[in-house]
Amino acid sequence: MTSAPFPTGPINAVSGTAIAVRGDDIDTDRIIPARFLKCVTFSELGPAAFADDRAELNGQHPFDQSAHRGARLLVVNRNFGCGSSREHAPQALMRWGIRAVIGESFAEIFFGNCLALGIPCLSVDHDTALAVQAAIEADPALELSADLETLELRGAQGPSWRLTLAAGPRQMLRSGQWDATGQLLANGAALTATASRLPYLQGFAAA
């Protein structure tokens, strides 16, 4: 399995070919079944993405089609990534090669887990999702670019589609500050002040 370098720094656009996985409410157990969680590193998860769905479809799953190998953009429908909080799900997708997810809506924990890896989850309306999925299926070589600056999804020719991303995550990705650890550690004094006013850390001493 070949894979581009993992995301680092500012993310202003994600470009490449795309892959469509259709269906609402695709949960993280389906993205990575629990038996693959028996590991102490994420490193081997890429080939296991959608393992059971792929077995069920017997080679017909998009992740098994050679035309979609190397895809960078994953296009999905509603409530993608619901269920378990397992970061193994976006880790598996990232290690398979996905660098951005475009869909009608996302489960909250999945969205946050992707953000923490530098993988934008961009929203589109229902008709757009279906149109983009159809375009990808018709032409797996179609190169798309998801632009976080203009919030447009564009092909080399043809239509462009409107993307939605909340201001906060967008700013974090574009500024390269999507990995929160450094920011959280920068506020030590403020954190100590917060802790000092929490009754349960102060023996419930009268205020």
- Judged by the rule CB under 8 A, the positions of this chain that interact with other proteins are 23-25, 27, 29-30, 33-35, 37-42, 52-53, 55-56, 78-79, 82-88, 90, 105, 107-109, 112-113, 116-117, 166-169, 171-172, 175, 177-181, 183-185, 187, 190-191, 194-195, 197-201, 203-206
8 Å CB contact between 22 and 184: no
Compute the least distance from the CB of residue 69 to other proteins, in Å. 23
Which residue number, 38 or 157, has a Cβ lying nearer to other proteins? 38
Would strands 73-75 and 13-20 be described as parallel, antiparallel, or unpaired? Answer: parallel
Report the DSSP beta bridge partners of residue 103: 123
3-class secondary structure, 109: helix
Which residue number, 108 or 162, has a Cβ lying nearer to other proteins? 108
* Measured distance CA(81)–CA(73) in Å, rounded: 15
Which residue number, 17 or 133, has a Cβ lying nearer to other proteins? 133
Compute the least distance from the CB of residue 197 to other proteins, in Å. 7
Compute the least distance from the CB of residue 158 to other proteins, in Å. 27
* Measured distance CA(65)–CA(206) in Å, rounded: 65
3-class secondary structure, 144: strand
Which residue number, 28 or 145, has a Cβ lying nearer to other proteins? 28
Provide the token pair at 24: 């609402």
Which residue number, 51 or 144, has a Cβ lying nearer to other proteins? 51
Instruction: Kindly provide the residue ranges of all beta strands, DSSP E only, lying in the chain, ordered along the sequence.
Output: 13-20, 73-75, 100-103, 121-123, 143-147, 152-155, 160-162
Compute the least distance from the CB of residue 194 to other proteins, in Å. 5
Compute the least distance from the CB of residue 150 to other proteins, in Å. 19
